Amino acid sequence: MMPNLRAALRRLIGSLLAAFAVAACNGTEAGDMGRRVEQPVAFNHQLHIVELEMDCTECHRYVTTNRKATLPTAEVCADCHSEPQGESAEEEKLVSLISSEEGLNWQRIYVLPKHVYFSHFRHVTLGQMGCPECHGSMSELSRPPSQPAVNILDMDYCVDCHEDQLVSNDCLACHI
Ligand code: HEC
Ligand code: HEC
Ligand code: HEC
Ligand code: HEC
Ligand code: HEC
């Protein structure tokens, strides 16, 4: 791309994003750190990861190959929970949600604004970074988190690490 075109694009992105920021100020938009979430089932990461020795990719199936890690569908849980495994009330709820075919409407807490490009493949596979670097220690949680563990949805957090690791901080690398 010609340098003056790139500079013009960058100015354009700057002003567009400034408008975005104003529009996002007065609501519970993506990236709002204070937002509380209610999950359909109180999923227990610690039990499945530590005691049952499951790998993150069994549920977050695309985390090493795609942009999005994705959250598990009811079919993933149904592999083990179409019949009760134990006696917990939460599991009972899950078993009935699975058989009702209502689906599991998980609420996400890590959501970047649409103008930011982020790829798990790039960081986890090419960059060989561990999940705790950006999500804290999920394997210690026995209940769903209601807030991000790390301030990863903040631009400074991305930019500081890129600076340390000599990765591009060109506006156009992250803003599409
Ligand atoms: C048995 C399935 C399962 C396994 C294994 C699993 N997860 Fe999850 N994960 C879920 C479910 C279900 C949710 C949504 C409910 C919640 O937040 O607890 C979730 C949510 C998350 C979230 C929050 C996403 C968001 O935006 O709300 C992160 C981060 C995460 N998992 C990371 C991990 C990591 C890291 C591992 C491996 C160390 C892992 N998970 C293993 C099922 C799983
Ligand atoms: C590989 C098999 C397997 C998969 C897949 C699996 N689980 Fe489990 N889960 C278990 C086992 C085993 C237990 C322990 C049952 C007990 O002893 O109470 C359990 C327990 C639970 C419990 C009750 C324990 C508690 O802490 O309250 C819930 C709720 C649960 N799982 C949710 C899920 C959800 C949601 C998914 C899909 C995202 C899922 N599980 C996927 C095997 C699995
Ligand atoms: C470099 C930081 C970083 C690393 C490392 C990272 N994540 Fe993420 N993760 C994010 C960001 C940022 C988001 C929000 C992405 C978005 O909104 O597009 C996210 C979102 C998620 C979500 C929510 C669903 C989705 O598809 O966006 C899950 C689940 C998740 N990550 C799991 C993992 C797991 C498992 C690992 C390790 C294998 C991991 N992440 C490693 C930064 C990271
Ligand atoms: C803890 C360090 C770290 C954090 C935090 C981080 N990154 Fe990165 N990022 C990297 C590394 C390392 C690479 C280069 C990976 C590779 O390809 O080897 C990279 C690469 C990228 C690239 C590709 C750059 C290019 O030149 O093509 C984009 C885009 C990107 N990151 C966006 C983000 C965004 C958006 C965030 C915040 C939500 C973020 N990153 C947070 C370390 C980080
Ligand atoms: C490494 C990734 C990355 C780079 C490089 C980057 N940004 Fe961002 N930017 C983000 C993320 C992530 C957000 C979302 C933060 C939020 O919503 O609070 C963001 C948000 C913004 C916003 C919205 C206002 C706000 O603070 O929420 C503006 C404006 C912005 N960036 C401008 C720029 C400009 C101009 C550049 C180049 C000098 C740049 N960004 C470079 C990741 C990046």
Please answer whether residues 82 and 95 qualify as being in contact, where contact means their C-beta atoms are separated by less than 8 angstroms: yes
Q: φ and ψ at 116, to 5 degrees?
A: -110, 135
Q: Examine the pLDDT at 25 and tell me if it is beyond 50.
A: no
Q: Examine the pLDDT at 65 and tell me if it is beyond 60.
A: yes
Residues 73-89, mean pLDDT to the nearest whole number: 94
Name which residue leads in pLDDT, 91 or 27: 91
The pLDDT-based confidence of 37 (bands split at 50, 70, 90) is: confident
The pair of three-digit structure tokens given for residue 72, joined into one six-digit string: 């598990």
Q: Examine the pLDDT at 8 and tell me if it is beyond 60.
A: no
pLDDT tens-digit series, residues 110-127: 999 999 999 999 999 999
Pocket test for ligand 1, best of 61, 63, 71, 76 (most atoms within 8 A of CB): 71
pLDDT of 102 reads 84
Please answer whether residues 67 and 60 qualify as being in contact, where contact means their C-beta atoms are separated by less than 8 angstroms: no
How far is ligand 1, taken at its centre, from the CA of residue 83, in Å? Answer: 22
Please answer whether residues 118 and 67 qualify as being in contact, where contact means their C-beta atoms are separated by less than 8 angstroms: yes
Q: Which atom of ligand 4 is nearest to the CA of 152?
A: 38
The ligand with the least distance to the CA atom of 111 is 3
pLDDT tens-digit series, residues 134-157: 999 999 999 999 999 999 999 999
Distance CA 91, CA 82 (A): 10
Distance CA 24, CA 15 (A): 14
